[in-house]
Structure 1
Amino acid sequence: MKLHRLELTGFGPFRNTQIVDFDAFETDGIFLIAGRTGAGKSSVLDGVCFGLYGGVPRYEGSERRLRSDHCDPADPTRVVVEFTAGDTRWRVTRSPEYDRPKQRGTGMTTEPHRAQLDEWIDGEWVGRAARPVDVARDLDEILGLNQQQFLQVILLAQNRFAEFLLAKNDDRQRLLRRLFGTRTYEGYQTALDERRRAAEAHVTTAGEGVQMLLAEAETMLAADGLEGIDAEATDPGAAAVDAEAGTSLEDRIAAVARGVQRAAYRADSLRRESDEAEATHRAADRAHTDLVALRDAQTDRARARDALAAREAEQPAIDADRSILDAAREAEELRPVLEAEAAAEIALSSALATEERALAQWQTVVVAIEA
């Protein structure tokens, strides 16, 4: 944040409008606000703090103390602060609560706390907020610091520095905590201490767990006989292990690690043997399947041969039946002729009978005529 201009009217010791042009000292670097006691040096800083945050630390938040005692009842009280935050220029205008004459009638009325925030855009001021609560919310986002933080890191409150120089060590430490808000960092320190203690407890618990797991691993390796196996006989790349190895935690872990390597080597060997056995089993299963298929084929062939021999034994009877069948087929061709002959014989017999009856009737008729 960079200050450009401060305007004070009816504020602190200033009844008339006073303007501080900070831009006029821009090229001077560090500058000093100097003057006699009561000249209003602190009021300049009070005006900046009041304009930005609506309060002054040395007055303990009493805004009625902000109005100049030299003001007539009708004189206004106003503070205007122009500043730049980021790449934007802002102007905040603020008036404290004070009593003024009524515009109608007699007596006094209370002028409420007023605030307005404007932004400099294209050569003119554009209003952004017109209520104290809205101005405070927008300035909190623009400045990035609340009033307490501003007073701790930017504007040291009056009499706080002298109090610090004259204070005892314990009081100075408390004052530093109050000025710079170190309670947060003390909280961090306390939290870190608690985390350290928790980590130490966790390490202790984990160490006990490691001891227990290490003992179980040693028991399992001993039960599997891995401690007495020659490393060169099982794994040519492994180093021989001294039977009288040290009993420190590191030596025990190293011994268990070597045992695990041996177990891994044995597991790899057993895995390879299992893979080979599985391959042999699959080959035997395929051979068994082929033999079963061959046996079934041979059984089918023997059954076919037996059926063929039985058919060959029946061949003479089959040939006789075939001859009868051929004769029957040939006779079947004569069936219409035979049936026609039988029908003709029947018709001939009927005709002869009819002829006999006719001749008999004829004889009767002839005899009758002759008589």
Structure 2
Amino acid sequence: MIPVKLTIEGLYSYQERQIIEFNNLTEAGLFGIFGKVGSGKSSILEAITFVLYGETERLNNRDKRAYNMMNLKSNRSYIEFDFYNYENKLFRATREFKRNSKNFEDVKSPTVVLYEFKNESWIPLESSDVEEIIGLSYKNFKRTIIIPQG
């Protein structure tokens, strides 16, 4: 998988919409995400794994994942990730979750959509299962892509 662009909004410390373009980095052939403690590196990686697999390393469903991932000043979280798969096809994964306006701690289950870019437009796919598209399970993805801290 080759990352192209990540858009995050209302996620952890990223209250405002942030767009990370990976093209300059991937053209170099190899890159990493570096920064000071607390600068948001883990949040970027967690956004990618969550948008793709609906799983995160830090939180599980029992931890009220969507509530704890959402920025406390936001009523909506949105993640959009564009990437090329091993067949060099362009895909987009999106996850959006919203806070219940009547109950601050109630965050609705994420809406998930997976698209493929065909004929100059994004075509929604019937399934949001990325394992076949990427060629990696969540377990193998996190083992291959994310190096543990420490």
On whether the aligned pair clears a TM of 0.5, the verdict is: yes
Query: Which residue does 2:92 correspond to in 1?
Result: 91
Deviation at 1:46, TM superposition (A): 0.8
Alignment of 1:1-371 (within 5 A): 1-61=1-61, 62=63, 63=65, 64-69=67-72, 71-72=73-74, 75-85=75-85, 86-96=87-97, 99-101=99-101, 107-108=102-103, 110-129=107-126, 134-136=127-129, 139-157=130-148, 159=149, 162=150
Q: Distance in 1 between matches of 2:38 and 2:90?
A: 32
Shift of 1:116: 0.3
Letter in 1 for 2:26: E
Gaps (5+ residues) in structure 2? none
Bigger Rg over Cα: 1
Alpha-carbon distance in structure 1 between the residues aligned to 2:108 and 2:52? 20
**Alpha-carbon shift at residue 110 of structure 1 (Å):** 4.2
- Alpha-carbon distance in 1 for matches of 2:32, 2:137: 25
What are the superposed Cα offsets for residues 96-119 of structure 1, whole Å, 9 maximum, x if unpaired? 4x5331xxxxx2364222100111
Between the two proteins, the alignment pairs up a number of residues equal to 144
Superposition TM-score, scaled by structure 2 size: 0.85
Secondary structure of 1:43 counterpart: helix
CA drift of 1:151 comes to 1.2
Name the SS for the 2:30 alignment partner: coil
The alignment's TM-score, normalised by the length of structure 1, stands at 0.36
The structure with the largest strand share of the pair is 2
What secondary structure is seen at the aligned counterpart in 2 of 1:94?
Answer: strand
Q: Identity of aligned pairs, percent? A: 24
SS at match of 1:37: coil
Q: Which runs of 5+ in 1 are unaligned?
A: 102-106, 163-371
The Cα shift of 1:13 comes to 1.2
